[in-house]
Copies of this chain bind each other. A is one copy, B any other.
């Protein structure tokens, strides 16, 4: 943690996505349209027909056919987004990974987005990981 801690109040945005809506794209568009600078997922419950996920080896990308229940959907949404999901199938078995996309709603997705009002999320290249990684700063007016 290279930076001093940023404390912030929190605003929430509850919303429902309906059948056929793609979850990752819809949430990122919501955050951009509403100019949320430090948004993340506070809560998500629902179901999807399929999902394209990247596995923990950082390379394998697979598309899984559902329907699946969403039992965990977590991560940050501003400045690109970084989401992980856990899905359960018709036998209760679970799979999980990094969300690439293709998460189309089956019946519903009830989501609450949180926004740290006094913070800003951005991503900067990190030579240690080779990815653009989250940097949190205090919002300046």
Residue A119 at the chain B interface, CB threshold 8 Å: yes
Nearest residue (CB) in B for A26 is B1
Which residues of A (15-31) have their CB < 8 Å from a CB of B?
A: 15-19, 21, 26, 30
Count of residues in A whose CB is under 8 Å from the partner chain: 82
Question: Across the interface, do A70 and B55 meet the contact criterion of CB distance under 8 Å?
Answer: no
Q: Do A1 and B14 touch across chains, with their CB atoms under 8 A apart?
A: no
CB distance from A42 to the nearest CB of B (A): 7
- B7/A11 in contact, CB under 8 A: yes
Distance A97 CA – B67 CA, assembled complex (angstroms)? 12
B residues in contact with A68, CB < 8 Å: 56
Q: A82-116 vs B: 1/0 string, CB under 8 Å?
A: 11111111111111111000000001101010101
Q: Closest approach, in angstroms, between the C-beta of A34 and any C-beta of chain B? A: 6
User: Which residue on B lies nearest to A96, using beta carbons?
Assistant: B88
Could you say which residues of chain B place their CB within 8 Å of the CB of A135? 16
* Distance of A30 Cα from B5 Cα, bound (Å): 9
Contacts from A to B (Cβ < 8 Å): 1-3, 5-19, 21, 26, 30, 34, 38, 40-45, 47, 53, 55-58, 60, 62, 64, 66-76, 82-98, 107-108, 110, 112, 114, 116, 119, 121, 126, 128-129, 131, 133-136
Given A9-B12, A40-B112, 14 other A-B residues pairs in contact with their CB atoms under 8 A: A1-B15, A1-B16, A2-B18, A9-B10, A12-B114, A16-B134, A55-B89, A56-B87, A56-B88, A58-B107, A71-B84, A71-B97, A73-B74, A84-B88
